[in-house]
Amino acid sequence: MNPAEIDEARAQAQALIAACSEPNALKDLERRYLGKSGVLAGWLAGIPALPPAERPQLGQAVNRLKRELGELIVARSAALEKEAFERDAAAGTFDPTLPPPGVERGHLHPLTQLTREVEDLFVSMGYQVADGPEIETDWNNFEALNIPPDHPARDSQDTFYLDGPGPLVLRTHTSPVQIRALTRLAPPLRVIAPGKVFRHEATDASHEHTFHQLEGLVVDKHVSVAHLIHSMKTLLRGIFRKDVEVRLRPGFFPFVEPGFELDARCPFCTSGCSVCKQTRWIELLPCGLVHPNVLKAGGVDPDEWSGFAFGLGLSRLVMLRYGINDVRLLLGGDLRFLEQF
């Protein structure tokens, strides 16, 4: 390569671009001169092999040519586009009244989709949908739920504490809505409360500082565990679109007595899989009959009324349904993940 060669290439390229009358041919020219393996790239790659004294001058000359040809191609491309537009307009084939191409539309987050489905299912069973604040009083989040300040259950639900008029926390579960519902609505009542909850958590594939739960509460006369099982089976049939067997194991939660862990038959296999860790059962939710102390805290007489409550992990349910193996994906905001739903 030498200055004369560069000038020759400039003259040749200018003539070719000016004579080009077709967008695809222009693209070919662009590739030939400016592409990754084009003429100019080849020259630039050869510069280190030149005598040191010639390198700066030739390098600058090639880069200048690169810029010039780039500008020429952009200008020629715009000119071709304008010509095509004018040709179509003159021929009467261009219809300016046609609507523009559609705008790309988003869609609901998989968590929102599932929450709405679950809400519909419970509404069909006579539940109403309640809402509660994400910033809660310590009383509603812990004490009224039978979790006094020195209770060990507080350790497993460490959260973010806020300065406020009284002790305030980011709620660790949707259970405080139980207290709000009890104090605002008179029994009999059936309420669900979906929403965001928070934990002070070292995050990993199965732990996240922010996730979604759905709280359920029924208070009526003569409420039994059988009613609880019926509601859960109806829910699972709606979500997985087939009958799902459930089982109860004793579990301790301060706000219910007796308390249970409800497991569902793995809907994905018949003889064990990675979702159920080969056990054929999936731990689904904590539940139980509402503790008399909780009813009292909500101003309801436990001698007259009884109820059941459950806490459904909505994030977990979304993960189960779609086979998602990392909870952090749900709120990570990565469109490559979200566009799959």
Binding residues for Zn ion, per CB under 5 A?
266, 268-269, 273, 275-276
Nearer to Zn ion, 203 or 325 (CB): 325
Nearer to Zn ion, 266 or 300 (CB): 266
Q: Which of 107, 117, 105, 104 is nearest to 341 (CA)?
A: 107
Kindly state the smallest distance separating residue 323's Cβ from Zn ion, in Å.
11
Nearer to Zn ion, 267 or 313 (CB): 267
Nearer to Zn ion, 224 or 325 (CB): 325
Give burial (CB, 10 Å; 0-12/13-18/19+) of 91: exposed
Measured in degrees and rounded to the nearest 5, phi and psi for residue 141 equal -80, -35
Kindly state the smallest distance separating residue 245's Cβ from Zn ion, in Å.
12
Kindly state the smallest distance separating residue 197's Cβ from Zn ion, in Å.
27
Kindly state the smallest distance separating residue 277's Cβ from Zn ion, in Å.
8
Kindly state the smallest distance separating residue 303's Cβ from Zn ion, in Å.
44
Nearer to Zn ion, 240 or 268 (CB): 268
Task: Encode the chain in three state secondary structure.
Answer: CCHHHHHHHHHHHHHHHHHCCCHHHHHHHHHHHHCCCCHHHHHHHHHHHCCCCCHHHHHHHHHHHHHHHHHHHHHHHHHHHHHHHHHHHHHCCCCCCCCCCCCCCCCCCHHHHHHHHHHHHHHHCCCEECCCCCEEEHHHHCHHHCCCCCCHHHHHHCCCEECCCCCEEECCCCCHHHHHHHHHCCCCEEEEEEEEEECCCCCECCECCEEEEEEEEEEECCCCHHHHHHHHHHHHHHHHCCCCCEEEEECCCCCEEEEEEEEEECCCCCCCCCCCCCCCEEEEEEEEEECHHHHHHCCCCCCCCEEEEEEEEHHHHHHHHHCCCCHHHCCCCCHHHHCCC
Angle between the N-to-C axes of helices 110-124 and 314-322, in degrees from 0 to 180, rounded to the nearest 10: 110
Nearer to Zn ion, 100 or 323 (CB): 323
Kindly state the smallest distance separating residue 282's Cβ from Zn ion, in Å.
7
Nearer to Zn ion, 13 or 266 (CB): 266
Nearer to Zn ion, 118 or 282 (CB): 282
